[in-house]
């Protein structure tokens, strides 16, 4: 398990844009992580007042950060940054609310040089919330 402090040693994201609290599992082929949503996160303030939900793009960003931890933990990628090149096949199945825990799972399906493709899913209480194919470039 990796703590938030350990995650920040691997990826460059910092609050309020750090969207992973813990990495619960990690392997050469992917990772699993969690984000505990208190309701105090900046995006809940305006999305939507009186009925807050986590924006879909932030679900994908949280998922991508878990993938970045997996990629940037690899010896050849340490100290680098992963940048989106595309997001494909994104689907949003369930709203994510304050007080819930977003669980993220990402599998690295292809790596070639500085390019990587990953399949990811997010869950709340075991229920699929979102999924996407994420492609990225690993640079300095």
Please state, in angstroms and as integers, the Cα–Cα distance from residue 49 to each residue in 52, 54, 61, 96, 102, following that order.
6, 12, 22, 14, 20
Q: Which of 13, 36, 47, 97 is catalytic?
A: 47
Q: Which helix (H) or strand (E) holds 7?
A: helix 4-10
* 13 noted as active-site residue: no
Contact of 18 with 65, CB cutoff 8 Å: yes
> What's the chain's length in residues?
140
- Secondary structure E strands in 4-126: 22-27, 30-36, 81-92, 101-112, 115-124
**For the chain, percent helix, then strand, then coil, each to nearest 5?**
20, 45, 35
Active site residue ranges = 47
């Amino acid at each position: 398990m990796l703590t938030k402090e350990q995650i920040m040693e691997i990826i460059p994201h910092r609050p309020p844009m750090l969207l992973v609290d813990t990495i619960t599992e990690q392997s050469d082929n992917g990772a699993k992580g969690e984000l505990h949503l208190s309701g105090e996160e900046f995006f809940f303030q305006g999305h939507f007042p009186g009925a807050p939900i986590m924006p879909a793009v932030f679900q994908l960003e949280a998922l991508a950060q878990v993938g970045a931890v997996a990629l940037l933990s690899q010896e050849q990628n340490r100290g680098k940054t992963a940048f989106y090149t595309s997001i494909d096949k994104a689907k949003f199945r369930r709203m994510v609310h304050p007080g819930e825990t977003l669980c993220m799972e990402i599998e690295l399906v292809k790596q070639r040089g500085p390019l990587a493709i990953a399949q990811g899913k997010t869950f709340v209480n075991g229920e699929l919330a979102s999924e996407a194919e994420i492609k990225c470039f690993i640079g300095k």
